[in-house]
Amino acid sequence: MNKRKLVIIGGGPAGLAAAMGAREAGVSDILILERDDRLGGILNQCIHNGFGLHTFKEELTGPEYASRFIDRVKEAGIEYRTGAMVTGLKPGDNGTVTVTVMGRRFGLEDITAGAVILAMGCRERSRGALNIPGYRPAGIYTAGTAQRFVNIEGRMPGKDVIILGSGDIGLIMARRMTLEGAKVHLVAELNPYSGGLKRNIAQCLNDFDIPLMLSHTVVDIKGRKRIESVTIAEVDEKSKPIPGSEKEYPCDTLLLSCGLIPENELTGMLGASINPVTGGPVVSESLMTDIQGVFACGNVLHVHDLVDYVSEEAAQAGKNAAAYLNGALRAEGKKHTLIAKNGVRYTVPASIDPGNMEDKQIVRFRVGKNYRGATVKVTCGDEVLSSVKRPVMAPGEMEQVILKKEVLTKLPEGADITFEIVE
Amino acid sequence: MLDVLILGAGVTGCSIARELSRYDLNVLVVDKHSDVCEGTSKANSGIVHAGYDAKPGTLKAKLNVEGNSLIKELSEELDFPFRENGSLVLCFDEKDRDVINKLYDQGVTNGVKGLQIIEKDRIKELEPNVTDDAVCALYAPSAGVVCPFLLTIAMAENASVNGVNFSLKTECDLIEKTESGYRVRTNKGTFETKTVVNAAGVSSDVFHNMVSDKKIKIIPRKGEYLLMDRTVGGTVSHTIFQLPTKLGKGVLVTQTVHGNLLVGPNANDIEDGEEVSTTADGLSEVAAKAALSIPGLPGRQTITSFAGVRAHEENGDFILGECEDAPGFYDAAGIESPGLTCAPAIGVMLACMIADKLNADLKNDFINTRKGIPNPKEMTREEYEALIKENPLYANVICRCETITEGEIVDSIRRPLGASTLDGVKRRTRAGMGRCQAGFCSPKVAEILAREMGTDIGDIRKNDPGSEILKGYIKEDL
């Protein structure tokens, strides 16, 4: 059987950065498995710019950002396979993981890995999962599917467009469809706030006079072959449509940008615990799941706003996997459990063993609603570890707090650390 | 001159076609849709009923029990998924125990094998997630689940291999009696035929009434469903029905033959037989009623919802056989539940009548088996590796949610009566049937379809003409 030190599942931004992180930390035997025919993941279809401001201090397009990492991976001589779909993961002997992979160039193969990094990314919530009633005609796409048709195939999925959901891909596609010659009538958003970045609302909607209708949703779809119209209604505080507020809008296309779901089917096969809030695995400070030697990073762990943060997190996962392979990560140490409450929806990581952390530990999280002038408070018992006032916080923008090792090592061993918003 | 023209390529029409293909007859199936299995046959519960529901003496009662055993045999012959999972009819109130007893007696009279009335403890043993309110249940071990698409497609393919012709996208607007039979006018030309079979589902009253003075009326009865992810398919293993209560007719909860959880249907009579839209109220009704059986119904795991229309005949039984005042015109009308179960038996019954009428001889080269698309999930590792060696496309995963390969998709397009649309590929292979609902695979499947059919991706449709998935090129309107 094929034996590898480190197998990375996914050759998108997370997988590529994880591979570099592991290589720089001294892992020589790395294999990246990518299901698509090329490395780069979803960045390949993100032809807009705005990537890389944090990582490279310049504005790149998605393919440019990806190619910087792809070039590095190639220069480093890191092995990768494209057209390689992982269909099975199971714990093997002596802490190894058996990875079953298939592809038309090499058939069906089992690989024994000393460690695995999960970097499979996420998928978009579909019309079915949103339970939108009405007919089921052609012309209803997730924003990402439409993005692929437009940016990769050069084809229009339609020309009279309504967008439901103000996630970033939806906002980006509102601008893209307009630039390519479609009429984008409006973006409807169920929540009283947008799920997208502020800069995208400004640059993709406001600049093109595309209305954003907050607290509105699609309540009916008409058209038997191709979509002909949608009915949009205002919703109340409980997100229930308000009778009498319905209005029908003719269109030939409905794009959906209503949330991303980490793709953790493989993670589930391993039996790793999943956080119901993020849809991603529960990880420690080392980004290790509760299965020994299996790490996770990027959108498979929790959905990020910016690829720069994905790269940063993934590089750390690669470095940690290297430490694990070198026996430098302790498994038996006492962990602080991180508790998310009062407006903090979750934290990544979910626990910290100070013995395994570096000088600083980034804790990322999202809030449940819009806040102005509220404080992110981190406490352990009576001790306040951090209390920072933020001018604005929104569910669409990921937040972070940095915890210092020198502070954590002074806390009672294994004591809970609480993250909350104080208004 | 045709011997038989069948109107409708749903499960009933395809079953009759397949049974007629045993005989030396010139048979044509016409359907207005661009694929077989596009009407009622594509949107139903996929249940193979045991046969205790129908009143003894009715066609429904007789054909249900026959169809139940025929489907089991056919699933072997024609290689489509079927599982005998058994069903439970839950009774929530001691006062209704009489109704369960009556159902049991009715089943015994109808010839259903293995029926038992079971008590609470046994119910919980069989189905731990069923409500504590269930006091007893009718257990029918011979009930099953089937893939309604593949049942229909398998029969159609087998009929086609045995010489039956199919004319799709063919809509009939006039049937006239002639000296030697009937003249059927369609958008694809006029056909002269000795006999006509009316298997037109919700439109069967229209065709019947063109030739008969004894008018019939089909009432389209819509039913809505919720389909949930395979990860929660194991919520139940049997098909769970409810006794009709004062709250109305209950809905069923079942694991489908492919392992999803299916919930539905409700029932609403509608005017237009093609009004297959779902409604917010309807879907909530279905979820609420299903929760009476399974209180912890994992509604958040819903991956899609859909509606189907049953062809309900006013008097409540099937209309089968030669029309009294129109010799040579055979009805297979009013085929509502348990129509899917009955279809193989209806096929045998109608084919025998027509073969008798036409004095047809059995062929000696009839091929009674059909192989489905190779399914790697049913293979051993060695078999799968051998298949990949023979055709590496079977290692190229296109639909990641259902793990469907390019090999399976290409086969679905190339086989007899092959897929020509995204829905056609989906029903034959399950590509796009999973939790992302074709988000990732539809562009790839469209590309494969275009390549295999030698056409442009811009011509690829979801289903019927008018459902093209793309609308031109970028920047062409700037």
pLDDT band (50, 70, 90) for residue A332: confident
Is the pLDDT confidence value at B244 over 80?
Answer: no
Nearest Cβ partner of A136 from B282, B306, B403?
A: B306
A94 versus A120: the higher-pLDDT residue is: A120
pLDDT of residue B152: 98
DSSP A205: I
> What is the phi-psi region of residue A244: left when phi exceeds 0, alpha when psi lies from -120 to 50, beta otherwise?
left
Residues 6+ apart with CB under 8 A from A71: none
For the entire predicted model, the pTM comes to 0.96
pLDDT of residue A92: 87
The residue whose two tokens read 């819009």 is A370
Q: Tell me which chain B residues have a C-beta less than 8 angstroms from the C-beta of A154.
A: 473-474
Q: What is the token pair recorded at B432?
A: 């796009």
Q: Give the dihedral sign, CA B393/B396/B399/B403.
A: positive
Q: Which of B372, B391, B412 is at the close of a domain?
A: B372
pLDDT band (50, 70, 90) for residue A44: very high
Q: Which of B326, B343, B372 is at the close of a domain?
A: B372
Residue B210: phi and psi, rounded to 5, are -70, -25
Q: Per the domain annotation, does B475 fall within a domain?
A: no
Counting one residue from A and one from B, how many pairs have CB atoms under 8 Å apart? 146
Which CATH number fits the domain that encloses residue B228?
Answer: 3.30.9.10
Please tell me the total count of domains within chain B. 3
Nearest Cβ partner of B278 from A104, A134, A253?
A: A134
Which CATH number fits the domain that encloses residue B411?
Answer: 1.10.10.1100
Q: Per the domain annotation, does B467 fall within a domain?
A: no
Indicate yes or no: CB of B473 within 8 angstroms of CB of A252.
Answer: no
Indicate yes or no: CB of B477 within 8 angstroms of CB of A181.
Answer: yes
CB A184 within 8 A of CB A204: no
d(CA B459, CA A224): 18
Q: Tell me which chain A residues have a C-beta less than 8 angstroms from the C-beta of B280.
A: 133, 219, 241
B177-235 pLDDT tens trace? 999 999 999 999 999 999 999 999 999 999 999 999 999 999 999 999 999 999 999 99
Is the pLDDT confidence value at B245 over 70?
Answer: no
Indicate yes or no: CB of B395 within 8 angstroms of CB of A106.
Answer: yes
Residue B476: phi and psi, rounded to 5, are -70, -20
d(CA B221, CA B234): 30
Helices B422-429/B406-414 angle, 10° precision: 110
pLDDT of residue B133: 95
Could you write out the DSSP letters of every residue in A6-41?
EEEE--SHHHHHHHHHHHHTT---EEEE-SSSSTTG
Q: Which domain holds residue B233?
A: 85-143+219-313
**Does B57 share its domain with B190?**
yes
- Indicate the length of chain A as a whole number: 423
A340-394 pLDDT tens trace? 999 999 999 999 999 999 999 999 999 999 999 999 999 999 999 999 999 999 9
**Does B366 share its domain with B429?**
no
Q: Which of B273, B290, B313 is at the close of a domain?
A: B313
Mean pLDDT of A291-318: 97
CB B64 within 8 A of CB B110: yes
pLDDT band (50, 70, 90) for residue B318: very high
**Does B196 share its domain with B275?**
no
**Does B240 share its domain with B291?**
yes
pLDDT band (50, 70, 90) for residue B409: very high
Nearest Cβ partner of B280 from A105, A133, A153?
A: A133
Q: Per the domain annotation, does B280 fall within a domain?
A: yes
pLDDT of residue B338: 95
Share of chain A above pLDDT 90, in %: 95
d(CA B82, CA B430): 15
**Does B68 share its domain with B152?**
yes
Which CATH number fits the domain that encloses residue B181?
Answer: 3.50.50.60
Coil vs helix vs strand at A346: strand
Q: Per the domain annotation, does B470 fall within a domain?
A: no
CB A193 within 8 A of CB A216: no
Q: Give the dihedral sign, CA A47/A53/A59/A60.
A: negative
**By CA distance, what is A127's nearest residue in B?**
B304
d(CA A151, CA B317): 55
Indicate yes or no: CB of A142 within 8 angstroms of CB of B396.
Answer: no
Mean pLDDT of B129-137: 97
Q: What is the token pair recorded at A199?
A: 């800069």
**By CA distance, what is A261's nearest residue in B?**
B436
**Does B45 share its domain with B189?**
yes
Alpha carbon B155 to its chain centroid, in Å, reads 11
Indicate yes or no: CB of A159 within 8 angstroms of CB of B470.
Answer: no
Q: How many Cα neighbours within 13 Å face the side chain of A30?
A: 31
DSSP A207: G
d(CA B59, CA A370): 63
**Does B158 share its domain with B277?**
no
Indicate yes or no: CB of B478 within 8 angstroms of CB of A157.
Answer: no
Helices B97-110/B59-77 angle, 10° precision: 70
Residues 6+ apart with CB under 8 A from B125: none
Q: Tell me which chain B residues have a C-beta less than 8 angstroms from the C-beta of A222.
A: 277
Q: Per the domain annotation, does B423 fall within a domain?
A: yes
Could you write out the DSSP letters of every residue in A289-328?
-SSTTEEE-GGGTS--S-HHHHHHHHHHHHHHHHHHHTT-
Mean pLDDT of chain B: 96
Q: Alpha carbon of A300 to those of A14, A30, A117: distances in Å?
A: 9, 20, 10
pLDDT of residue A195: 85
d(CA A18, CA A27): 11
Q: What is the token pair recorded at A273?
A: 């615990």
Is the pLDDT confidence value at A4 over 80?
Answer: yes
Q: Give the dihedral sign, CA A326/A332/A333/A337.
A: positive
Could you write out the DSSP letters of every residue in B377-406?
GGS-HHHHHHHHHH-GGGG-EEETTTTEEH
**Does B53 share its domain with B166?**
yes
A218-265 pLDDT tens trace? 999 999 999 999 999 999 999 999 999 999 999 999 999 999 999 999
Q: Tell me which chain A residues have a C-beta less than 8 angstroms from the C-beta of B385.
A: 107-108
**Residues facing residue B184 across a β-bridge:** B175, B191
**Does B150 share its domain with B49?**
yes
Mode of pairing for the β-strands spanning A212-214 and A183-189: parallel
d(CA B19, CA B39): 21
CB B49 within 8 A of CB B145: no
pLDDT of residue A371: 95
Is the pLDDT confidence value at B250 over 90?
Answer: no
- Cα angle at B279 between A259 and A236, to 5 degrees? 55
pLDDT of residue A131: 87
A252-298 pLDDT tens trace? 999 999 999 999 999 999 999 999 999 999 999 999 999 999 999 99
Question: Cβ of B454 under 8 Å from any chain A Cβ?
Answer: no
Active site residue B33: no
Question: Cβ of B280 under 8 Å from any chain A Cβ?
Answer: yes
Q: Per the domain annotation, does B249 fall within a domain?
A: yes
**Does B129 share its domain with B111?**
yes
pLDDT of residue B284: 95
Mode of pairing for the β-strands spanning B2-7 and B116-119: unpaired
Is the pLDDT confidence value at A176 over 90?
Answer: yes
Report A:134-153 residues touching B (Cβ under 8 A). 134-139, 141-142, 144-145, 148-150, 152-153
Mean pLDDT of B137-156: 98
pLDDT of residue B316: 86
Q: Per the domain annotation, does B256 fall within a domain?
A: yes
Q: Tell me which chain A residues have a C-beta less than 8 angstroms from the C-beta of B43.
A: none
Q: Tell me which chain B residues have a C-beta less than 8 angstroms from the C-beta of A148.
A: 443
Question: Cβ of B246 under 8 Å from any chain A Cβ?
Answer: no
**Does B207 share its domain with B342?**
yes
Residues 6+ apart with CB under 8 A from B334: B204, B216, B218, B311, B312, B313, B315, B317, B318, B319
Mean pLDDT of A67-76: 98
pLDDT of residue B249: 67
Report A:296-355 residues touching B (Cβ under 8 A). none
Q: Per the domain annotation, does B471 fall within a domain?
A: no
Q: Which of B231, B384, B402, B435 to mutate to test the interface with A (most CBs of A within 10 A)?
A: B435
CB A223 within 8 A of CB A260: no
d(CA A395, CA A305): 11
pLDDT band (50, 70, 90) for residue B248: low
Mean pLDDT of A170-180: 98
Helices B148-161/B422-429 angle, 10° precision: 100
Amino acid in position B347:
G
- Please choose, from the candidates A8, A71, A67, A105, the residue with its C-alpha nearest in 3D space to the C-alpha of residue A320: A8
**Does B163 share its domain with B19?**
yes
pLDDT of residue B246: 60
Amino acid in position B197:
V
